[in-house]
Amino acid sequence: MSLALAVLMTLTVPAYPEAATIKITRPDGSGTVMSRISSHKPVAVIVMKGHWCEVCVDQLERMAKLHELLRSLKVEVVGLVAESGDIPDREILNRRKIGLNIFGAAPRALETLGFWLPKQGHPMPGIIFLDRCGRIAATYLGRRADITQERFIIQMLEHLTREKNQCGMMI
């Protein structure tokens, strides 16, 4: 494990909300909870502002390419966007066929996760990492337009695949 990843994981040990309590909307419009995304494999959830944010959409497209490279690790990369408006961003983005499943979340759920910017009325871009048990293992706030973020995602997902944690019962 790299020193930077070890330091980050040490710094990101705060108590995260239970992923089983965070309600989200699947790409097909049905409801679920965040912990159900994982299906027993680590997940990087890319949080974005909305369909109108071209930088965010570009990031999702880069992550879709990265997802193809990560298939051998048996991990998942998905998008998460705030649900608002008559036609949810989740639907608009899934119609664009970016190559990732895009989930939706209410602003309140994003606020619970620490990603909602109330004055701006949209979430802060970032990443939520789920372990193979569907628990939030780490979060990363902000967005970087360079390869560093992609390397970080790969390192974090590799770390989570090596963890030998016992999951027990999922809610």
Spatial separation of the C-alpha atoms in residues 170 and 107, rounded to whole Å: 25
Predicted pLDDT at 7: 44
Amino acid at 60: L
> What digits encode the pLDDT tens for the residues 62-81?
888 888 778 778 888 888 98
Q: What angle do CA 141, 111, 78 make, to 5 degrees?
A: 55
Spatial separation of the C-alpha atoms in residues 48 and 20, rounded to whole Å: 21
pTM: 0.81
Q: Which fold has domain 22-125+154-164?
A: Glutaredoxin (3.40.30)
pLDDT at residue 15 tops 80 = no
SS3 79: strand
Give Cβ neighbours of residue 139 (< 8 Å, ≥ 6 apart): 12, 16, 113, 114, 115, 126, 127, 128, 129
pLDDT at residue 165 tops 60 = yes
- Of all residues in the chain, the percent with pLDDT exceeding 90 is 1
pLDDT at residue 13 tops 50 = no
Q: Which of 44-48, 92-96, 148-152 has the highest mean pLDDT?
A: 44-48
Q: What is the mean pLDDT of residues 102-123?
A: 87
pLDDT at residue 54 tops 70 = yes
- Of all residues in the chain, the percent with pLDDT exceeding 70 is 82
Backbone angles phi, psi at 154, to 5 degrees: -60, -45
